[in-house]
Amino acid sequence: LEPGPKAVMITLNGYACQRRTPLQHHNTVLTEALLVLAENAEFCEDEGRNIAFKRAVSVLKALPQAVRKMGDLQGLPCLGEHSQRVIKEILEDGKSREVETTLQSEQYQAMKSLTGIFGVGVKTADRWFREGLQQPSDVARSGQRLNHAQQAGLQYYNDLNTPVTKAEADVISRIVEGVVQEVLPGAEITLTGGFRRGKQTGHDVDFLISHPEEGREEGLLPKVVSLLETQGLLLYQKTTRNSYLETKEGPARPPSNMDRFERCFSIFKLERPRHSTSPEEPPQAACEESPRGEDSALEQLAGERQDWKAVRVDLVVTPVSQFAFALLGWTGSQLFERELRRWAGQEKNMSLSSHALFDNKRKQYLRASSEEEIFAHLGLEYIPPCERNA
Ligand code: DCP
Ligand code: MG
Flag whether 8 is in a domain.
no
- Could you say which ligand is closest to the alpha carbon of residue 166? 1
Domain count, the chain: 3
Q: Catalytic: 204?
A: yes
Q: What is the CATH number of the domain that holds 389?
A: 3.30.460.10
Cα of 131 vs centre of ligand 1, distance in Å, is: 30
Closest ligand 1 atom, CA of 338?
A: 7
Same domain flag for 287 and 362: yes
Question: Whose Cα sits closest to atom 6 in ligand 1?
Answer: 330
Same domain flag for 314 and 386: yes
Same domain flag for 60 and 174: no
Residue 9: the pLDDT is 83
Across the range 202-208, mean pLDDT stands at: 98
Same domain flag for 94 and 126: no
Cα of 199 vs centre of ligand 2, distance in Å, is: 10
Q: Is the pLDDT score of 112 beyond 60?
A: yes
Across the range 238-262, mean pLDDT stands at: 82
- Do the beta carbons of residue 117 and residue 150 sit within 8 Å? yes
Flag whether 7 is in a domain.
no
- Do the beta carbons of residue 51 and residue 15 sit within 8 Å? no
Same domain flag for 52 and 181: no
Q: What is the complex's ipTM, to 2 decimals?
A: 0.96
Same domain flag for 145 and 40: no
Flag whether 35 is in a domain.
yes
pLDDT in tens, 175-198: 999 999 999 999 999 999 999 999
List 72, 159, 206, 295, catalytic entry: 206
Q: Is the pLDDT score of 151 beyond 90?
A: yes
- Could you say which ligand is closest to the alpha carbon of residue 330? 1
Please compute Rg for the chain using Cα positions.
23
Closest ligand 1 atom, CA of 206?
A: 19
Across the range 130-158, mean pLDDT stands at: 97
Question: Whose Cα sits closest to atom 25 in ligand 1?
Answer: 202
Same domain flag for 70 and 164: no
Place 327 in a pLDDT band, splitting at 50, 70 and 90. very high
Q: Best substitution site from 206, 260, 355 to test ligand 1's pocket, by max atoms within 8 Å of Cβ?
A: 206
User: Please, what is the average pLDDT of the chain?
Assistant: 92
- Could you say which ligand is closest to the alpha carbon of residue 332? 1
Instruction: State the residue range of the domain holding 81.
Output: 16-102
Domain boundary (102, 135, 170) is at 102
Residue 301: the pLDDT is 45
Q: Best substitution site from 334, 338, 354 to test ligand 1's pocket, by max atoms within 8 Å of Cβ?
A: 334
Domain boundary (102, 118, 140) is at 102
Q: In this structure, is the dihedral angle defined by the CA atoms of residues 371, 373, 379 and 383, taken in order, positive or negative? A: positive
Q: Catalytic: 170?
A: no
Closest ligand 1 atom, CA of 205?
A: 28
Same domain flag for 277 and 356: yes
Q: Is the pLDDT score of 8 beyond 50?
A: yes
Cα of 330 vs centre of ligand 2, distance in Å, is: 8
Cβ < 6 A, ligand 1 pocket:
193-194, 199, 202-204, 206, 257-258, 329-330, 332-334, 337
pLDDT in tens, 269-309: 999 988 755 555 454 444 344 444 444 445 554 556 789 99
Cα of 10 vs centre of ligand 2, distance in Å, is: 31
Residue 247: the pLDDT is 85
Closest ligand 1 atom, CA of 199?
A: 26
Flag whether 63 is in a domain.
yes
Flag whether 11 is in a domain.
no
Same domain flag for 28 and 45: yes
List 204, 295, 307, 359, catalytic entry: 204
Across the range 88-93, mean pLDDT stands at: 98
List 46, 170, 314, 359, catalytic entry: 314
Question: Whose Cα sits closest to atom 9 in ligand 1?
Answer: 330
Closest by alpha carbon to 202, among 293, 334, 303? 334
pLDDT in tens, 345-364: 999 999 999 999 999 999 99
Cα of 334 vs centre of ligand 2, distance in Å, is: 10
Place 53 in a pLDDT band, splitting at 50, 70 and 90. very high
Residue 290: the pLDDT is 43
Across the range 97-121, mean pLDDT stands at: 98
Flag whether 10 is in a domain.
no
Same domain flag for 352 and 319: yes
- Could you say which ligand is closest to the alpha carbon of residue 202? 1
Same domain flag for 175 and 298: yes
Same domain flag for 234 and 327: yes
Place 164 in a pLDDT band, splitting at 50, 70 and 90. very high
- Do the beta carbons of residue 45 and residue 109 sit within 8 Å? no
Place 3 in a pLDDT band, splitting at 50, 70 and 90. low
